[in-house]
Copies of this chain bind each other. A is one copy, B any other.
Amino acid sequence: MSIRIGILGYGNLGRGVECAIRQNQDMELAAVFTRRAPEQVSILTQSAAVCHVDEIESWKDKIDVLILCGGSATDLPEQTPKYAKLFNVVDSFDTHARIPEHFAAVDAVAQESGKVGIISVGWDPGMFSLNRMYANAILPNGKDYTFWGKGVSQGHSDAIRRVEGVKNGKQYTIPVEATLEAVRAGKNPELSTREKHLRECFVVLEEGADAAKVEAEIKNMPNYFADYDTTVHFISEEELKKNHSGIPHGGFVLRCGKTGWNEENTHIIEYSLKLDSNPEFTSSVIVAYARAAYRLASEGAKGCKTVFDIAPAYLSAQSGEELRAHLL
């Protein structure tokens, strides 16, 4: 029997989850839940239901894992604990600083309900966290580096669009190549914000806006741009649509560590992602962890988990024998 998945929230992430489920033969999409009027939400999977979120409780025994595809600012802090009462849940909560309190809230409910809740799944937090953790455990004497990009930052793109005179805009975060090379060469540099990432902006101006004023306002924006070397390109709306409508992302996690009785040997561990679609890759990670949630729950596990707490084999559709024979 397939693992029956529910999706709450049908934006880029929800749609990505839907696509990922299609690639996993042991899973099926049972239903998508939305706050919108269901008849206005058109999904891709013909066999799945579209329901208003108010009906979700009636699906209690018809769904094995509910994937929460809302945002970290307001949706998930409320939704993940709430639905862990009824379902095994997986979310992609990504406000790093608030993970401990989110974990505690989800754990309290899931311990009580006997469900499994896996939080902060995706690539950062998620696969990047795993790689930081493995590398730290292996090389306790070392230094970590995380670089993001090249990719679209939604927050920085939003910040550009709030500038007066800007009609539309997109921002790419780009690791500084020379810095990456220094880290790879084992030089263990201490890095300022400016030395790690560049910011490149593509801006469509409103009719009659002052380009120089817009550029200065972007470049001097505190927190978002002032601490970075920022480039601003003015382009047409058509050009923006044609060349900058994707949501690529990626990045690099490196650890440089020393071993040997006198720390005479240097090792570099590097993990990198180059993603055409940030939400689709995040969704693909989430779906693998939905399989883990299902299996853990089947074994009687309960409570909140993160990627650190879950043995890798739980993510795979293959058996232990198959994994040992083909991937070990």
A residues at B contact (CB < 8 Å): 16, 18-20, 22-24, 44, 96, 99-100, 103, 120, 125, 127, 129-134, 136-141, 184, 257, 259-261, 264-277, 280-281, 283-285, 288, 291, 306-313, 315-318, 320-321, 323-325, 327-328
Question: Cβ of A23 and Cβ of B259 under 8 Å apart?
Answer: yes
The 26 sampled A-B contact pairs (Cβ below 8 Å) are A44-B261, A99-B325, A99-B328, A120-B328, A127-B134, A127-B138, A129-B327, A133-B312, A133-B316, A133-B327, A136-B318, A136-B327, A137-B315, A138-B281, A260-B280, A265-B276, A268-B274, A268-B275, A270-B270, A270-B271, A306-B323, A306-B324, A308-B324, A308-B328, A309-B312, A311-B311
Knowing A23-B141, A259-B281, A277-B265, the reply to whether A312 touches B316 (Cβ < 8 A) is no
9 nearest CB pairs, A to B: A265-B276, A137-B315, A308-B313, A259-B280, A265-B277, A268-B274, A137-B288, A137-B316, A129-B328
How far apart are the CA atoms of A20 and B142 in the complex, in Å?
Answer: 13
Interface centre among A137, A288, A316 (most CB of B within 10 A): A137
What number of copies of this chain does the assembly contain?
Answer: 2
- Measured between C-beta atoms, what is the minimum distance from A217 to chain B in Å? 34
Which of B96, B307, B312, B328 is in CB contact (< 8 Å) with A125? B328
Q: Determine the chain B residues whose CB is within 8 A of the CB of A269 once the complex forms.
A: 127, 271-273
**CB of A259, distance to nearest CB on chain B (Å):** 4
Q: With the chains together, A325 CA to B95 CA distance in Å? A: 11
User: A100 vs B103: C-alpha distance in the bound complex, in angstroms?
Assistant: 38
- Cβ B277 vs Cβ A316 within 8 A: no
Task: Please determine whether A270 and B272 come into contact, CB atoms closer than 8 angstroms.
Answer: yes
* Of B137, B283, B312, the contact of A130 (CB 8 Å cutoff): B312
A311 to B324, CA, bound (A): 16
**Chain B residues with CB under 8 A of A103:** 324
Given contacts A127-B138, A137-B316, A308-B320, 13 further A-B contacts (CB under 8 A): A20-B259, A22-B261, A23-B141, A127-B134, A131-B271, A133-B316, A134-B315, A265-B276, A265-B280, A270-B272, A271-B271, A310-B311, A311-B311
Complex Cα–Cα for A140 and B22 (A)? 10
Whole-angstrom CA separation of A263 from B71 in the bound complex = 25
**A269 and B131 alpha carbons, distance in the complex (Å):** 12
Q: How far is the CA of A257 from the CA of B276 in the complex (A)?
A: 10
Q: Is the CB of A140 within 8 A of B23?
A: yes
Cβ contact within 8 Å between B320 and A313: no
Complex Cα spacing A45 to B96, Å: 40
Question: B132, B307, B311, B316: which contacts A136 (Cβ < 8 A)?
Answer: B316
